[in-house]
Amino acid sequence: MVSIAGLMNKVKSASMLATGQKIAFKQDTYSLALTGLPENMPFAPITTIAMELDGEPKQDEIFVRRRDRGTV
């Protein structure tokens, strides 16, 4: 699982850029969790995940800075 904190956009879809494989995700007001990642990532250790958003990407940077390190 990979988490992204503070993403203010609604995610419409997520997929592996190299293969097009869809990635399952869960999103709430302040976090996005990519839950459907494959066990063996293509092109590890660098893999690109493409996400379709409902607009220009926006992040709530103040929310991200307030969080304790090590938690998302």
pLDDT digits (tens, 9 = 90+) for 15-46: 999 889 999 999 998 789 999 888 888 777 88
**What is the per-residue pLDDT for 52?**
97
Distances (CA, A) of 40 to 12, 21, 45, 47, 69: 24, 12, 10, 10, 27
Of 20-29, 50-59, 60-69, minimum mean pLDDT range: 60-69
**What is the per-residue pLDDT for 65?**
63
DSSP string, 11-29: EEEEEETTT--B--EEE-S
**What is the per-residue pLDDT for 41?**
81
